[in-house]
Homo-oligomer: A and B are copies of this chain.
Amino acid sequence: MPAAFPAEPQMSATAEEEAYRHLQRALRLGRYKPGERLIPEEIAAEIGMSRMPVREAFRRLASDGLVVLRPNRGCVVAGLTVDELYEIFEIRSVLEGLAVRLAMPRIDEEEFEELERLLDRMERAGQSGSSDWVVRHQEFHGRICALSWRPKLIHQISALHVVIEPYMRIWFDDCDKPHSAREEHAAVIAALRSGDELHAEKVMQDHILSTAPMLAEFVSPSR
């Protein structure tokens, strides 16, 4: 089975890899604020290496959209505008819709039980109020994507989850009221059980598109 996202932390080989992981983790957790400048020398000192591998890591982070690299003006933490956030959710909707459609024929009863276990774990994580609900939520979506058995598709979806992760955290930390996540995800499982691929695709699309507006209020209105 292709790896679910987030990719399991294999022992880092190169310094660039370590810098990339370090920075990605920090950015996902929202340790740096959008617009904040990342100084290669500082980061390098932080993790005990020279500037070179850090600069290389910046390039990859920029490709991921986590960071903006402007010529002669260095590396700045990327922030999403409302439009960009909606766009990402539109893209997620079709990508994860495709993943669901492709995954369905591969899901047996055992896998359904696993998904329901993940649903419960997500529920518990949510009640404990901790923001590791976000991680559980990614696990749930990641599991379904993994069942599509499409490495590149999984990778692209995973990358989008990384970009929106800080906003998901802020959103969940800020909303004490129980929201409709449980039912939405249960509906996805139900749609998968129905055996109707196009219906399941549609349910996933709607689920994803329905969450965008809830996050939108935590995003800077424009740039």
Contacts and interface: CB of A to CB of B under 8 A. Distances in A.
A97 B65 CA distance: 23
B52 A14 contact: no
B56 A87 contact: no
Contacts of A87: 150-153
Contacts of A16: 59
A182 interface: no
Nearest to A14: B71
A55 interface: yes
Contact size range, A:
20 to 34
- Work out how many copies of this chain go into the complex: 2
Contacts of A151: 84, 87
Interface string A123-158: 000000000000000000000000000111100100
**Interchain residue pairs A-B with the least CB separation, the first 4:** A63-B63, A94-B94, A13-B71, A59-B59
Q: Mostly helix, strand, loop or mixed at chain A's interface? A: helix
A91 B151 CA distance: 11
A91 B153 contact: yes
Given A98-B90, A150-B87, A63 B65 contact: no
A60 interface: yes
B152 A84 contact: yes
A71 B150 contact: no
Contact of A56 (B59, B65, B88, B91): B59
A173 interface: no
A206 interface: no
Contacts of A165: none
